[in-house]
Amino acid sequence: MTTDTLLATPTYEQDFWSDEVVLNPYPTYRTLRDLGPAVWLSRHEAWAITRHAEVRAALANPEVFSSARGCMMNDPMNTAFVGNILCTDDPEHQQMRKTFARPLMPAAVGVLKARMEELASEQVDRLMEQESFDAVVDIGHHLPINVVSELVGLPEDGRRHMLDWAAGSFDAFGPLSSPRTITGLEVAQEAARYTRGIDPARLAPKSWGTALFQAAERGDIAEAQARSMMMGYVAPALDTTINATSSAIWLFARNPDQWARLRADRDLMPGAINEVIRMESPIRAFSRYVTRDHEVGGVVLRQGARALMLYACANRDERNYPDPDRFDITRRARDHIGFGYGTHTCAGMHLAKLEMTVILNALADRVAAFEIVEEERRPHNTLRGLHRLIVRATPD
């Protein structure tokens, strides 16, 4: 960008990936929204799309805001992920998504409900016998680890690394100026080597992974696509749901009136989950490549620029959500973009909603209130969530 252009452009000069911003992002998000719908991140030489309407419009316009050149903030990851389902545009993306999303559609995940309810009920019963428990490990991990990781179908040597691979791969989405990105790149490379080299015969017979290779045998997708799509099951299926579930308990502990309201009226559950995702979006942002000059809010984004879609920032936009920092499970928040928007809307959102519904219902049957004993967050380039949340549950 030229000096003249910068003088006329809303600019943010701080490090968007600093520990301070990552751990307490909401003041920065408000600053960015106040600066404008498109803000130049001078330290990272990228645009930030900040407001709800503009983020949705950008995500609905892949002809300008393309995923095909990567969704990350560094060249090594964007190059490595070329052709991955996350880093493609239509029609290639939709062709891959037909296979990838088949086990994640509402009818497919619905058959898991009974088993999930049984597992959740048993786990909550166990936890209610304890003085306190960790809502991240004991609640957030429970269904993803015991159900979803099994469905992916990796053998034991892969399953035991799934959480580390997921967190590290998402860290690798950041800029190379962040030490977390460098560490994440090493983890992402390890995960990629494993999935690209795995023998399909080692996968569980009726698993999602096996279904990918069967689709490759039929010619629906290429075998290389099947291998890359394995990581699409490994990463988003775990950390994002774990973070959203534990964030729900954190929010309800801090807002006991909303927990009482949900317990009294379970029909509010879908709206409550939407409000949790809006308030504490598990994904901070993904980037897009600008394919041609394009105006956003009076500012021209030039061809070749990288634009960061700030999902979490847009979900707190006061232009779309009155009093956006207030947790209100009756709010009409179905238009949140915590699951993305457009062609890249999260394929696993139905599964995530089912897991959250099941565990929150099990808790609502037995818990009158939550008290936070201890909480810990650790900085992460892409994910927002708690590392530890010790709570004391008051029985009904």
> Strands across the sheet with 46-49, in order?
11-12, 38-41, 46-49, 306-309, 286-290, 65-66
CB contact at 8 A, 306 and 290: yes
**Tell me: the pLDDT tens digits for 205-244?**
999 999 999 999 999 999 989 988 888 887 777 888 999 9
Residues 318-336: what's their mean pLDDT? 97
Residues 202, 204, 206: CA angle, nearest 5 degrees: 140
Report the percentage of the chain scoring pLDDT > 90: 85
pLDDT score recorded for residue 234? 77
Count CA within 13 A, CB hemisphere, residue 16. Answer: 30
- Indicate the pLDDT class of residue 1, thresholds 50, 70 and 90: low
How far apart CA 305 and CA 219 sit, in angstroms, is 36
pLDDT score recorded for residue 258? 98
The third-level CATH classification (topology) of the domain covering 3-395 is Cytochrome p450 (1.10.630)
Phi/psi at 361 (5° precision) = -65, -40
Domain spans of the chain, in order of start:
3-395
pLDDT score recorded for residue 232? 83
pLDDT score recorded for residue 147? 87
Residues 162-183: what's their mean pLDDT? 95
pLDDT score recorded for residue 140? 95
Beta bridge partners of 237: none
Residues 13-18: what's their mean pLDDT? 98
**Tell me: the pLDDT tens digits for 98-147?**
999 999 999 999 999 999 999 999 999 999 999 999 999 999 999 988 88
Count CA within 13 A, CB hemisphere, residue 33. Answer: 23
**Does position 391 have pLDDT exceeding 60, yes or no?**
yes
pLDDT score recorded for residue 261? 98
pLDDT score recorded for residue 396? 87
**Strand bridging mode 286-290 / 306-309:** antiparallel
How far apart CA 244 and CA 223 sit, in angstroms, is 32
CB contact at 8 A, 270 and 284: no
**Torsion on CA atoms 340, 341, 343, 346, rounded to nearest 10:** 30
- Indicate the pLDDT class of residue 2, thresholds 50, 70 and 90: very low
**Tell me: the pLDDT tens digits for 232-280?**
887 777 888 999 999 999 999 999 999 999 999 999 999 999 999 999 9
pLDDT score recorded for residue 3? 42
What number of residues does the chain have? 396
Residues 26, 163, 231: CA angle, nearest 5 degrees: 95
Phi/psi at 51 (5° precision) = -100, 155
Beta bridge partners of 303: none
**Tell me: the pLDDT tens digits for 30-79?**
999 999 999 999 999 999 999 999 999 999 999 999 999 999 999 999 99
The mean pLDDT of the chain is 94
Supply 303's token pair.
Answer: 């061809």
Residues 75-99: what's their mean pLDDT? 93
How far apart CA 143 and CA 319 sit, in angstroms, is 36
DSSP string, 291-359: -S-EEETTEEEPTT-EEEE-HHHHTT-TTTSSSTTS--TTS--TT--TT--GGGS-TTHHHHHHHHHHH
Provide the whole-model pTM. Answer: 0.94
Residues 328-356: what's their mean pLDDT? 95
Residues 385, 287, 248: CA angle, nearest 5 degrees: 20
DSSP string, 370-382: EEEEEEE----SS
Residues 282-289: what's their mean pLDDT? 97
